[in-house]
Amino acid sequence: MAFAFDRHANAVGVHFCALLEKIYFQHLPDLRLRHMIYRWKVVTGANKEIGLEIVKRLASNGIKVVLTARDEKRGREAVKKLTEFDASDQVVFHQLDVADSASVASLADFIKTQFGKLDILVNNAGVLGVKLDGEVLLSPSNIDVEFEARWSKAITETYELAEECLQINYYGAKRIADALIPLLQLSVSPRIVNVSASLGKLEKVKNEWAKSVFSGAETLTEEKIDEVLSEFLKDFKGGLLASKDWPTFLSSYTLSKAAMNAYTRILASMYPSFRINSVCPGYVKTDMNLNTGILTVEEGAASAVKLALLPNGGPSGLFFIRSEVSKL
């Protein structure tokens, strides 16, 4: 016997379904039976803003979500915030530092033990890779200055921050994907959404060698991406970014997102039954940009949610800017 839950019910319906599930869950000790009823999702960097909004929207539609965050206190507080949306019953918290292999392994073991599979992964965790001077950025004298010129006055990039940016934005997403793909393979409709940025478009990467690697169709590999990022860091340390035609504005952030877009294509090719895409949510008002964005978190989260819920046979291996496919 099994209940047929309507995953597109309204908030009241979803809450009622959650109560039924709690009762029925006691009679499902076998994880293979749970596979038939539940859809499980992981969102990284989900304790606030876009990540939290993605969690809220999917949980409100009846999907069980594992909300992750590096800071345990903030993560648990985020789950509590969802109570006002009747979504907290659908959400569990697990601490995750995407830069820490042991932390990633702990999450994978938790999902395997508790749920037995995974249906959706959203890689949202990320950093800007700079030291940002808020007073300069928000200065009235800079308000009408062109975007890049305005930001260039307010940021400081260091080798240590660049290295951290790559470790979190690209290698962190890669660690999570590598650890959770075996569980995603147990799903009938596996989805991976990598939250990227328009700065990761290849037009922002002037280094011709790096651009040729990232744009390669048949020749692109993870090892070649590693070579590009290693060379970038070497030139950063040597003060050679400009002379080697690397990005000099938000340089590590740009490279991390270009690498993520390339990695998305690799994964989509390796796992044709998955739907795997990367998406720029737009310039969203967040703490990262001191709320200088033009979109709300609700608007920013919408595109990632749409890709997370793609039907079987939907697009894969593509880069979206909000809801539109974009050239890399």
The crossing angle, in degrees rounded to 10, of helices 101-114 and 171-184 is: 20
Full strand arrangement of the beta sheet holding 64-69: 91-95, 64-69, 40-43, 120-123, 191-195, 275-280, 319-321, 324-326
Active site residue 159: no
Can you read off the two tokens belonging to residue 183? 């569980």
Q: Which residue has the tokens 């990284």?
A: 44
Structural contact between residues 62 and 7, judged by C-beta atoms closer than 8 angstroms? yes
SS3 of 230-293: the string is HHHHHHHHCCCCCCCCCCCCCHHHHHHHHHHHHHHHHHHHHCCCCEEEEEECCCECCHHHCCCC
For 287, half-sphere exposure in the C-beta direction (CA atoms, 13 angstrom radius) is 8
Q: Which of 38, 253, 263, 271 is catalytic?
A: 253
Tokens 């009408």 belong to 144
Please identify every residue annotated as catalytic. Answer: 253
